[in-house]
Structure 1
């Protein structure tokens, strides 16, 4: 955790130019056990949807931490890449949400493909509280405060491509990561983009054919990577 992320409702006015916040959850545990903070120490903080800055630990014990918060800087710029991801198994989804959020992604779309298990759409990992926690962990890692949006599209793949994908890619380059594609993934930002990543095992031929009508297929090279690794490699190439 490189940032103590606060909710707006946790801030109370204090001295001029500062706020007060009291923590009594896992952030308190992090302050005590990882940072080993003491009264008088400073830590990085930010408020969801707002600025980042520094906080002084005013008081700290086993039950709560009181912080004096000063917010002075904007969060880092977002990565203008929408990530459309064939819903992976729950442990992989957690990794992708955290890592892609840390890299600056602000919009996720989780969709169904032939090689996606239907049971994944009823997993605990898709509950709003679980998704929110993974997004917060990614933001805290990257010292960011702007919470991404996550859309879930359980409809058939063909319907997703016809009815949902146009809105996700409007005004943006649409890239589909697929092993063996003739075009390598760009190694620099290309402007606003929507990046599609398939399931473990890849898209089936019919899905590849459908996407070929609307998107540019790109390749990462001869190595076959796990979804969480491929996502990080692709986003790193498209980042400034």
Structure 2
């Protein structure tokens, strides 16, 4: 936890009182004391610092902080992800790791090789996935919470929803082992937002690849090696981010 995140209504008259895992982190991990300063941010708001005014190091632990917020929130990251819904344990890793890397929106969708039982997971509730997004922000010292959207039917998502957001993106990419272009080729000249679609374990089926193609997505491969979904998300995000940075120079 590289930043303590709080909801705006938790801060009253410039004071934040913690009694949960955040207090435990200050006591047990940071080993902080009265007068010490820690990084603090408001979810979807500003960042700054908190000076410890009082601390109870034993159960029930509590910490009172005097908050000063002087840094504006980061701009929305330039990459959004379309994810075929993965197994809950893998989705937790993906949401946390991708949020740490920087994602503006997650579009979690159904696909042919997605098990229908995945849609019954508690992870799909805001309380279920929210903690994993927060862990990613805490790691990256960010406050901007990604948006998460779920679509249980593939065809309406591609045919009806995607056209409503099409104008937001400079490049739309579908990751597929049989892709005929590399990321370096498809990212040439891109300086706007990118929408990246990553399939389930076993990959997209031909129908899905074709439907994404009809929606203007470029079919792209990472190379000969086939990666697990959570590994592919990190590898693709890192490579696209690098290419976007090179285009800025």
- Give the TM-score normalised by the residue count of structure 2: 0.89
**Could you list the per-position Cα deviations for residues 154-176 of structure 1 after superposition, in whole angstroms to 9, with x for gaps in the alignment?**
01x22221112222433312110
**Could you list the per-position Cα deviations for residues 26-62 of structure 1 after superposition, in whole angstroms to 9, with x for gaps in the alignment?**
1111111111111121111111121111111111113
Q: Distance in 2 between matches of 1:105 and 1:60?
A: 35
Q: Distance in 2 between matches of 1:59 and 1:100?
A: 35
Q: Distance in 2 between matches of 1:171 and 1:143?
A: 26
Please name the residue that 1:220 is paired with. 222
Residue segments in structure 1 that go unaligned for 5+ positions in a row: 14-18
User: 1:199 and 2:200 equivalent?
Assistant: yes
- Give the TM-score normalised by the residue count of structure 1: 0.92
Change (3 A) 1:190 1:183: farther
The CA RMSD measured in Å over matched residues stands at 1.5
Please name the residue that 2:155 is paired with. 158
Kindly indicate which of the two structures has a greater share of residues assigned to helix: 2
Cα distance, 1:126 vs. partner? 0.8
Cα distance, 1:178 vs. partner? 0.6
The answer to whether the 8 A contact 1:5-1:46 is kept is yes
**Which segment drifts farther, 212-221 or 19-28?**
212-221
Count of paired positions:
234
Q: Distance in 2 between matches of 1:70 and 1:130?
A: 30
Write out aligned runs for 1:1-240 (5 A). 1-13=1-13, 19-61=14-56, 62=58, 63-155=61-153, 157-172=154-169, 173-186=171-184, 190-214=191-215, 215-239=217-241, 240=245
